[in-house]
Copies of this chain bind each other. A is one copy, B any other.
Amino acid sequence: MPRQGLNRESVVEASIQFIEEKGYTAFSMGELAKSLNVKTASLYNHVESVDALFTEVGLAAVSQMVASETQAIKGKEKNDALFAIAAAYRTFAKDHNELYRVIMSLQKSKNKVLERAAGQITEPILQVLSGYGLSRVEQIHWQRILRSMMHGFVAHEELGGFSHYPADKNESYQMAVQCIADGLQNVKKEQNEDR
User: Hey, what's the 0/1 contact readout for A147-164 against B, CB within 8 Å counting as 1?
Assistant: 111111101100111110
Once A118-B163, A153-B148 are accepted as A-B contacts, the answer to whether A172 and B107 lie under 8 Å apart by CB is: no
Question: Is A156 a contact of B147 with CB atoms below 8 Å?
Answer: yes
- Selected from B140, B141, B155, B171, the residue in CB contact (under 8 A) with A155 is B155
Q: Please classify the interface of chain A as helix (H, G, I), strand (E, B), loop, or mixed, using the class held by over half of its residues.
A: helix
Contacts of A169-192 to chain B: CB distance below 8 A: 169, 171-172, 175-176, 178-180, 182-183, 186
CA distance A9 to B91 in the complex (A): 42
**Residue of chain B at shortest CB distance from A159:** B107
Q: Which residues of B contact A53 (CB under 8 A)?
A: none
* A157 vs chain B, min Cβ distance (A): 9
Q: Which residues of B contact A137 (CB under 8 A)?
A: 166-167
Taken together, the copies of this chain in the complex come to 2
Q: Is A104 an interface residue (CB 8 A)?
A: yes
* A40 vs chain B, min Cβ distance (A): 22
* A113 vs chain B, min Cβ distance (A): 11
* A87 vs chain B, min Cβ distance (A): 15
Q: Is A3 an interface residue (CB 8 A)?
A: no
Interface residues of A (CB under 8 A from B): 104, 107-108, 114-115, 118, 137, 140-145, 147-153, 155-156, 159-163, 165-167, 169, 171-172, 175-176, 178-180, 182-183, 186
Give 3 nearest A-B pairs by CB, closest first: A152-B152, A107-B159, A148-B152
